[in-house]
């Protein structure tokens, strides 16, 4: 029977890991559909970002109470994986509490630490469910989240509550069987754990045989739940649990608000102003801005996959808060949706087949023009995402590729071209205001 359980566990674990690896490889391929861009500089500053933004969640602590709860969930996810590793090895080798013997007396402190984290995760998840579904904070009831995105967040919180409950119940049944000296459980002497022992009174009337079934069911459901969660991540906004780290490392180090010039445009202007500088066979400048995923950088696509959909960007956006159509969160979600659509196209055809769509089928001109480029969305994002960069690239394509700009902009462009300033005054007359 034990050998059969080991075989089943190994097969399930191998399937889960292979499926997860396959999905992660697809996501990596999708990210690399974007243009190449070098982020290999200033490694020390980049590792500092990883420590402060990803591990330390620096930006979250602007709201200390929420930050502590979020950190409890995050720390629980990361640290409790040590316990998951023990369960994983137990399943492969047919052992029970494999780490107890080498760790000795430290083992009970370790598991007690995990239980404290489990209670923290349980509490935080319940509070976050209430914030989303009872208090209904404005950024959580936005139409951006209609449909799957809103359900996705609830599914994850409920799953984490179930996993932590299974973990505590498993420990309670296990330690109770140890105290009764039943079977191989009696060979272990971990002692009672701080929180799971509170469940003992509810289990005291259950027979040893049924307690073993309860412990095994909780053990299997817990590890199977972990495997299911692992393979749910690539389809969920909670992929940021993994991508927050590379996203923090590859964060932009230039000052916020500094826009990238386009060398191709600068050269075209130079050639127009000084034709003698133009080479005999000037290279075609290529595309201006971005119309689709292939025109964005891979870093923009990594941003889209790293988006937590928390809505802090939209809550800080002055355009959004004054009723404009723009929502920076929606920009990231729409970009990710388009990447996923292109990825499926590539998977089906082995290469991209033109589907007659681009990013403007997802993001409207009205949304793009509402942006004031104030950088509030970039400043607020806890994982260093820049919706503004995507907005600017799309606006460049609208103006420079499609000549699609409001009349007011066109007037300004004309003045800059003819008068070297946004105003409709000749450069020779610019000082006449001083005459009076």
Q: Is 51 helix (H, G, I), strand (E, B) or coil?
A: helix
Give helix 208-232 / helix 148-179 axis angle, nearest 10°: 150
Cα torsion through 310, 75, 92, 216, rounded to 10: -90
What is the pTM assigned to this prediction?
Answer: 0.86
What pLDDT score was predicted for residue 45? 92
Q: Find out whether 26 and 343 touch, Cβ atoms under 8 Å.
A: yes
At 328 the pLDDT is 95
The predicted pLDDT at position 283 comes to 66
- What pLDDT sits at residue 253? 87
Measured N-to-C along each axis, helices 208-232 and 81-93 cross at an angle, to the nearest 10 degrees, of 120
What's residue 284's pLDDT? 67
Question: Is 22:283 a contact under the CB 8 Å cutoff?
Answer: no
**What pLDDT does 205 receive?**
92
**Per-residue pLDDT at 83:** 80
Output phi, psi for 35, to 5 deg.
Answer: -65, 150
What pLDDT score does 237 carry? 87
pLDDT attached to residue 264: 74
Q: Residue ranges of the alpha helices (H) in 50-146?
A: 64-79, 81-93, 100-103, 106-130
Pairwise CA distance, residues 117 & 169, whole Å: 15
Q: List the one residue out of 316, 231, 187, 324 whose CA is nearest residue 12.
A: 231
Per-residue pLDDT of the chain (436 residues; tens, 9 = 90+): 678 888 999 999 999 999 999 999 999 999 999 999 888 888 999 999 998 888 888 888 888 888 888 888 877 777 777 788 888 888 888 888 888 888 888 888 888 888 998 998 999 999 999 988 898 888 888 888 888 888 898 999 999 999 999 999 999 999 999 988 888 888 888 888 889 989 999 999 999 999 999 999 999 999 999 999 999 999 998 898 889 999 999 988 888 778 887 777 778 778 877 888 878 776 666 788 899 999 999 999 999 999 989 899 999 999 999 999 999 999 999 999 999 999 999 999 999 999 999 999 999 999 999 999 999 999 999 888 999 999 999 999 999 888 898 888 888 888 888 888 888 888 887 777 787 6
Q: Sort 177 into a burial class: Cβ within 10 Å, 0-12 / 13-18 / 19+.
A: buried
């Amino acid at each position: 029977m034990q050998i059969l359980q080991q075989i089943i566990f190994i097969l399930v674990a191998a399937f889960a890991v292979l499926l997860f690896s396959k999905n992660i490889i697809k996501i990596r391929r999708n990210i690399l559909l974007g243009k190449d861009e070098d982020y290999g500089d200033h490694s020390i500053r980049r590792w500092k970002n990883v420590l402060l933004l990803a591990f330390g969640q620096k930006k979250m602590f602007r709201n200390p109470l929420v930050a502590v709860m979020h950190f409890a969930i995050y720390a629980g996810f990361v640290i409790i994986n040590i316990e998951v590793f023990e369960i994983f090895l137990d399943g492969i080798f047919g052992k029970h509490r494999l780490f107890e013997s080498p760790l000795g007396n430290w083992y009970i402190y370790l598991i007690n630490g995990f239980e404290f984290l489990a209670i923290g995760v349980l509490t935080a998840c319940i509070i976050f469910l209430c914030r989303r579904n009872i208090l209904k904070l404005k950024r959580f009831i936005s139409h951006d989240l209609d449909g799957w995105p809103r359900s996705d967040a609830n599914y994850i919180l409920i799953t984490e509550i179930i996993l932590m409950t299974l973990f505590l119940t498993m420990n309670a049944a296990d330690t109770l069987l140890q105290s009764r000296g039943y079977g191989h459980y009696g060979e272990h002497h971990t002692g009672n754990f701080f929180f799971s022992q509170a469940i003992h009174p509810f289990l005291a009337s259950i027979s040893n045989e049924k307690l073993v079934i309860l412990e095994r069911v909780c053990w299997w459901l817990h590890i199977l739940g972990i495997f299911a969660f692992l393979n749910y991540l690539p389809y969920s906004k909670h992929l940021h649990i993994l991508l927050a780290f590379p996203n923090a490392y590859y964060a932009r180090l230039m000052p916020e608000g500094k826009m990238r010039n386009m060398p191709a445009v600068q050269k075209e202007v130079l050639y127009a102003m000084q034709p003698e500088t133009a080479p005999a066979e000037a290279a075609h400048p290529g595309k201006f801005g971005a119309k689709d995923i292939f025109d964005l950088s891979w870093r923009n696509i990594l941003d889209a996959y790293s988006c937590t959909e928390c809505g802090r960007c939209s809550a800080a956006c002055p355009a959004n808060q004054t009723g404009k159509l723009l929502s920076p969160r929606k920009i990231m979600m729409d970009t990710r949706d388009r990447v996923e659509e292109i990825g499926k196209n590539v998977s089906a055809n082995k290469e991209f087949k033109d589907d007659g769509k681009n990013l403007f089928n997802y993001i409207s001109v009205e949304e793009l023009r509402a942006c004031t480029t104030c950088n509030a969305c970039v400043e607020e994002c806890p994982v260093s995402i820049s919706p503004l960069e995507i907005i600017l690239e799309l606006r460049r394509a609208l103006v420079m590729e499609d000549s699609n700009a409001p009349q007011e902009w066109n007037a300004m462009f004309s003045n800059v071209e003819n008068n070297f300033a946004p105003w409709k005054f000749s450069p020779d007359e610019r000082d006449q205001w001083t005459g009076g």
